[in-house]
Amino acid sequence: MGEALQNALGDRYDALSTSLRSRVVQFVLDAFDSLGSYRDADAALFVERVLPTVLAAQAQMGQITDAYLAAMIADMAGTSATATGVVLDEALRGVPPDEVYRRPFVSTWTALSDGKPFPQALAEGRTRLLSITETDMQLARTHAAQQSMQRSGAQFFRRRLNGPGNCALCTIASTQRYRVERLMPIHPGCDCKVEPLVGDRDPGPVLDEGLLKQAHAAVAKTVGKSDAGGRAPDYREVIITREHGEYGPLLAVRRHEYTGPSDVPSP
């Protein structure tokens, strides 16, 4: 079927994954907002209530990602779709999920101890919860995509931007090809999807020269210089991939601090 079917598969996957992500985020935020107070007992009650739904949503994200990629690869390679399922660890970050979903309360308590008014402290906790939930859904997506592509024999993939608005980090990363053995780099709030590149031939590091040139222009406007040749771009000095202790490959700006593997305490 070619491009028409692949576009339809991508559109359907976008609709399903966006809806799933939106529903679980709304559920988690509503549960947080409905608490009578935000003490230890409330934190425990919150985690007990939301965690089963979050884990179920992550598993569902894995299933629809596997089905999407199996169908895409089958159409690209001219074979039959073979989605056989993926297995996702509940602790995608390498940290127990009940500990992760207690962190918004820690953020709230920390803000209060710093003398911030309760509404502001609560807003900071809620913002952290939003970031945690969105990131966990994206981690489910990337871990499932890696398993699905490795099973299919695909060696390379690209990042596909999702929706009308995308950050500069993702836009630049979308011009590159990646190897399947590496998880797709993400950032908190990322909603990009994986698109397989079928075949044994390495397409080379740059997939979209036009978009890359636009990225150079944006970098030049921001930092005052860029490489119009497009082969040794200055953006590599600004936007890089780092290994985050929990997320894995993380899109980052070089000057930003980040959490490395050594910063995550041992169990």
Instruction: Choose the final residue of a domain: 119, 153, 187.
Output: 153
pLDDT at 255 over 80: no
N-term to C-term CA, the chain: 50
- Domain boundaries, position 203: 155-267
Residues 130 and 44 occupy one common structural domain: yes
Residues 70 and 183 occupy one common structural domain: no
User: pLDDT value at position 220?
Assistant: 64
DSSP of 34-78, one letter per residue? T-S--SHHHHHHHHHHHHHHHHHHHHHHHHHHHHHHHHHHHHHHT
pLDDT higher at 2 or 75: 75
Residues 148 and 233 occupy one common structural domain: no
Residues 106 and 167 occupy one common structural domain: no
Q: Is 167 helix (H, G, I), strand (E, B) or coil?
A: coil
Residues 141 and 161 occupy one common structural domain: no
User: pLDDT value at position 198?
Assistant: 77
pLDDT higher at 173 or 88: 88
User: pLDDT value at position 63?
Assistant: 95
Number of domains in the chain: 2
pLDDT higher at 82 or 9: 9
Predicted confidence (pLDDT) per residue in 138-147, tens digit = 999 989 998 9
Residues 107 and 210 occupy one common structural domain: no
User: pLDDT value at position 80?
Assistant: 74
Residues 111 and 182 occupy one common structural domain: no
pLDDT at 182 over 50: yes
What Cα–Cα distance (Å) separates residue 183 from each residue in 31, 78, 209, 234, 255? 31, 26, 23, 24, 23
pLDDT at 249 over 90: no
What Cα–Cα distance (Å) separates residue 128 from each residue in 20, 22, 150, 188? 19, 16, 33, 10
Instruction: Choose the final residue of a domain: 153, 178, 210.
Output: 153
Residues 149 and 18 occupy one common structural domain: yes
Confidence of residue 164 (pLDDT cuts 50, 70, 90): low
Confidence of residue 261 (pLDDT cuts 50, 70, 90): very low
pLDDT at 39 over 80: yes
Q: Tell me how far apart the alpha carbons of residues 134 and 138 are, in angstroms, rounded to a whole number.
A: 6
Tokens of 2: 């070619």
User: pLDDT value at position 252?
Assistant: 61
Residues 191 and 75 occupy one common structural domain: no
In this predicted structure, which of 120-124, 198-202, 211-215 has the lowest mean pLDDT?
211-215
Measured CA angle at 250 (ends 208, 16), to 5 deg: 70
Averaged over 159-180, what is the pLDDT? Answer: 75
Tokens of 212: 């890359």
Averaged over 177-200, what is the pLDDT? Answer: 78
Residues 189 and 118 occupy one common structural domain: no
User: Scanning the structure block, which residue is given the tokens 């930092």?
Assistant: 223
Confidence of residue 20 (pLDDT cuts 50, 70, 90): very high
Strand bridging mode 239-244 / 248-253: antiparallel
User: pLDDT value at position 243?
Assistant: 62
Residues 265 and 247 occupy one common structural domain: yes
Residues 142 and 182 occupy one common structural domain: no
Q: Tell me how far apart the alpha carbons of residues 162 and 144 are, in angstroms, rounded to a whole number.
A: 18
User: pLDDT value at position 251?
Assistant: 64
Instruction: Choose the final residue of a domain: 103, 131, 153.
Output: 153
Closest by CA to 208, choosing from 183, 184, 177, is 177
88 φ/ψ angles, rounded to the nearest 5 degrees:
-105, 135
Q: Please list, in sequence order, all residues whose beta carbon lies within 8 angstroms of the beta carbon of residue 179, skipping any fewer than 6 positions away.
A: 155, 156
pLDDT at 206 over 70: no
